[in-house]
Structure 1
């Protein structure tokens, strides 16, 4: 049993700290004794207990999977088609592994990127064919640069022996980082901000748990109370402490006088600090505060749901989507393969705005870069006969053609007059008369 204890201790440390470290590393002792200025220890588990962190991570990690990821093939004429016959189409778009749907698979990757700025996916092969993609917990993966220049990944799963994973068998998606090897841990750099928010939440909870609603001081004209009297008074006051005892009537004895002392939470900056912490945390996760329910003193650049979604898409999601697409190209399809590529359909983010979506379709149909069947496919409607024809508005003519009858129009007019049994001479004579 003694030989197994170090392994159990190491597994427990990995789970508790969130990153694989050793007892000889300074990070271990810093984590135990608190590294934030507020004295709070910050890990992934403790950070997720903050409502703002929970809302930010959940918002981003649930929004990205809602944008369909498709595998396309470029055609010689510049268009594209779904690459249904490609061996990776099923793995990327239908079933990444036997336990996960594409939504759950992408949700885990994005959540790892939000909390760790690293996401690791192991490629499972049969021969040379990739048959499955298995996401790994980023806190259990370490990256090492070998003397050859290649990267070696070690996966230390709790309760099991660590195993090496070759660089060719790993898809490593990196978030923002400074060394190019791994993404920088946002919990490490934002430790003071998150620790301050934890301390403010703890202080607020202590106020409601221990604060006496009829707060004030008791004065006694006789001077100092005896120890027994003081203890009895303390027990009596405990019956009025806490939020569940709010509003009870306090009875004073032995000449005691009550003098209330009002402590305004606004004056103590408790509420203001908690509001500011919400904005601070949102900065770390690149999430607009109004998207996590923080609307106090909110000035929005956009005046519609479509505009807000577009703002969130451009500044928050677009870099992450581009990063994931390029890593799929590099690690799965091959950087030199320009025939196939993966892409997120960001139009799904604007699906909730029916007015904006309708206006988008109108412009597409009137300018001839989408057909009616293209629109129906986006709306999950079956195609209609003749719906693949591209149409444009015919009322736009060059300025030098104003007032002139086009040649096609003249021929059509002549044919109509002939059908009516008239010609231009008859018409001229009628006008002269």
Structure 2
């Protein structure tokens, strides 16, 4: 056992010859910091307003970004809203809040190039406290199998060595140091000194009434006593800002010689501007954010803030989060990850909106799939997400680049000038084109995306309904009318069902209405570009009322079916003399079995297909053209016999189809 450990250690160091050489250099002695942090903090942070502001604005912005905890479950990443790790981060120690802790962590790193977080708690397992150490009190002790043996914290002559695995050490890259990082304040040390010197010089000039030094010239030599007396008198009576402008009274034959400076030598303003820009550059902070309103580096303040987040704040936050994910998070369990959402950062909201718009437009034009669009905005893949939308206005071509014929090319007549007649003719031809497989497939693919989304939110609605129904059994007794109680619980979910189905209908209707309007508009070439928005707004009241009525009817049917099914399930349990607990299990199995999935899909398909057909109908109606409609049945296993028989019926827009003796304005709805 001992031999095996020695071999493993030898192999580890053989893989890194440089590490072994470095450790031999120190032989267990402390690796001293290359610069005194206390001096850097005193001369830079404490004395220079630009350094102070750059450090604080960066640290405060880092601390303001909300941290999110995710857990990987199979192929899906799920957000965790309650967890001991989140509790620790929200209250890292008795003296600091989350923001104070994150601010000090980031500020120490910016000032010294190093930051140290102590994970205080049990010897093994997750820590209970997090403390940010002062870099000026921290020394690295090289050695051990992991390159660093311990971290030493020194206070008032007392040294405390803490094992390396208990410390999270973050540092900036330093090309000439094996242990410590190189901070921005060290890189900018010379320009900071120059700026401080300029401030000191200007303060001296102010105290000297804004005048440079001068000299009194005695025409006759002064003895030592006269010289000392005159010097004392000048210092006591006339030196200092409070005595500026006071009339001098001197003895003897003396003259004043002013030591003037050239305008170039006195140009401190430009010098300080350059110093300010260099300091801001070292910290990666736009000058606008620290009070510089003169130097217009960005077109506006909003762009400066967004750039500041993307180029400085988030990279620094990534460095800190990576350390937490590497050292702290594994102590709380597997498959956990800390991250953040840029959509929750106000300064990046506009960037987020642009990203969403770009993804939606690319999806609509068929350039990318549903999954590719979801990835662009930070969402996971979904089942069936490889599908693409094919806009109805696109012409499908074969691999040789030739257009796929619809059989109507020879009948086109471009000599018709009347837009209305031309639109009517084109729509008649389009009705024939509807029968082609390409057109039907494009409609089905666009529907499929809505059906997938609708299925997910319907399943969530069933899950909420299940929770409400099963809650009855928490207080139910032998005398409880279970059927009545369950019906009441289902009825209590009616408003939520109405919200869910209304959302499905509104989204689907508007999308398909607009698409159908634009398809006809592009073919007629005789309407205004904004005509849809105007006409659809007029029809909006009619559409909303229709959807309200349809949804109310749909919810009634959904809840009625559920009530009847659960009533049957309860009846079976009662007939077998089962306890309330077993009956509750029966009901839970109904909601969590194939019934839930299959029924969600059925409802989603029914409502989306109905809403899309209604949207097509209203989009065509919004054109104001004298149009006809034709019933096109998708002849597959799901198509009803009476719908298949209705295939090919042509009607005016406001006339009903005849479906086996019943009337319908369009498929799926009367």
TM over 0.5: yes
Q: Which of 1 and 2 has greater Rg?
A: 2
Aligned residue for 2:94, secondary structure, equals: coil
Root mean square deviation of aligned Cα: 4.5
Greater RCO structure (CA 8 Å; 6+ sep): 1
SS in 2 for 1:156: strand
Could you tell me which of 26, 37, 48 is aligned with 1:50? 48
Contact kept, 8 Å, 2:32 with 2:140, in 1: the verdict is no
Asked if residue 118 in structure 1 is aligned to residue 114 in structure 2, the reply is: yes
Relative to structure 1, is the Cα distance of residues 146 and 262 closer, same or farther in structure 2, using a 3 angstrom cutoff? closer
Q: Distance in 2 between matches of 1:224 and 1:137?
A: 60
Q: Does 1:176 align with 2:173?
A: yes
Classify 1:219/1:68 alpha carbon distance in 2 versus 1 (closer, same or farther; 3 Å).
same
Q: Give aligned pairs, total.
A: 370
Instruction: Report SS of the residue matched to 1:192.
Output: helix
Determine helix, strand or coil for the equivalent of 1:162. Answer: strand
Q: Residues of 1 paired with 2:341 and 2:225: CA distance?
A: 74
CA contact 1:173–1:323 (8 Å) conserved in 2: yes
Q: How does 1:261-410 map to 2 (within 5 A)?
A: 262-263=260-261, 266-296=264-294, 298-300=295-297, 302-334=298-330, 339-350=335-346, 356=350, 363=357, 385-386=499-500, 391=507, 394=511, 395-396=514-515, 402-403=522-523, 408-409=616-617, 410=629
Distance 1:47 1:146 in 2: 33
Deviation at 1:188, TM superposition (A): 4.5
The DSSP-based 3-state class of the residue aligned with 2:145 is coil
Structure 1, 142-151 or 318-327: larger mean CA deviation: 142-151
Q: 2:100 aligns with which of 97, 104, 129?
A: 104
Return 5+ residue gaps in structure 2 as ranges. 1-28, 362-372, 378-452, 454-495, 525-611, 618-628, 632-649, 659-670
Deviation at 1:315, TM superposition (A): 1.7
Are residue 199 (structure 1) and residue 197 (structure 2) matched? yes
Q: 1:388 to 1:60 in 2, by over 3 A?
A: farther
CA deviations on 1:210-265 (whole Å, 9 max, x unpaired) are 56748655556x54345555445434544333322233344566565556564356
TM-score (norm 2): 0.47
In the alignment, the residues of structure 2 paired with residue 109 and residue 331 of structure 1 have an alpha-carbon distance, to the nearest angstrom, of 16
Which residue in the other structure is 2:655 paired with?
418
* Alpha-carbon offset, residue 102 of structure 1: 0.6
Structure 1 residues 249 and 124, CA, compared in 2 at 3 Å: closer, same or farther? same
Q: Which has more helix, going by share of residues?
A: 2
Question: Per-residue deviation at 1:96?
Answer: 1.3
Query: What's the CA shift for 1:104?
Result: 0.6
Alpha-carbon spacing, 1:312–1:163, altered in 2? closer, same or farther (3 Å): same
- Residues in 2 aligned to 1:154 and 1:26: alpha-carbon distance in whole angstroms: 10
Q: TM-score, normalised by structure 1?
A: 0.68
Helix, strand or coil: the match of 1:123? strand
TM-aligned CA deviation for residue 327 of structure 1: 1.0
Written as runs of structure 1 = structure 2, the 5 A alignment for 1:134-283 is: 134-159=131-156, 161-178=158-175, 181-210=179-208, 213=211, 216-218=214-216, 222-225=219-222, 227-238=224-235, 239-250=237-248, 256=254, 258=256, 262-263=260-261, 266-283=264-281
- Residue 11 of structure 1 corresponds to none
Query: Shift in Å at residue 111 of structure 1?
Result: 0.7
The Cα shift of 1:323 comes to 0.9
1:337 positional shift: 7.8
Deviation at 1:340, TM superposition (A): 2.2
Of residues 210-219 and 362-371 in structure 1, the stretch that sits farther from structure 2 once superposed is 362-371
Please, which moves more after superposition, 264-273 or 120-129?
A: 264-273
- Secondary structure in structure 2 of the residue aligned to 1:52: helix
In structure 2, distance between residues paired with 1:29 and 1:118: 12
2: CA distance, partners of 1:335 / 1:29:
33
- 2:166 and 2:62 map into 1 onto residues whose CA distance is 25
Of 113-122 and 407-416, deviating more is 407-416
C-alpha spacing 1:419/1:250, structure 2 compared with 1 (3 Å): farther
How far apart, in 1, do the equivalents of 2:268 and 2:91 lie? 48
Q: Are the equivalent residues in 1 in contact too, given 2:55–2:110 (CA < 8 A)?
A: yes
132-141 or 181-190, larger mean C-alpha shift = 181-190
In structure 1, stretches of 5+ residues that fail to align are 1-23, 32-40, 372-382, 422-433
Deviations 1:347-371 (A, max 9, x none): 45435x99x4996699599879799
Q: Deviations over 1:19-42 (max 9, x none)?
A: xxxxx99989997xxxxxxxxx94
With 133-142 and 154-163 compared, the bigger mean Cα shift is at 154-163
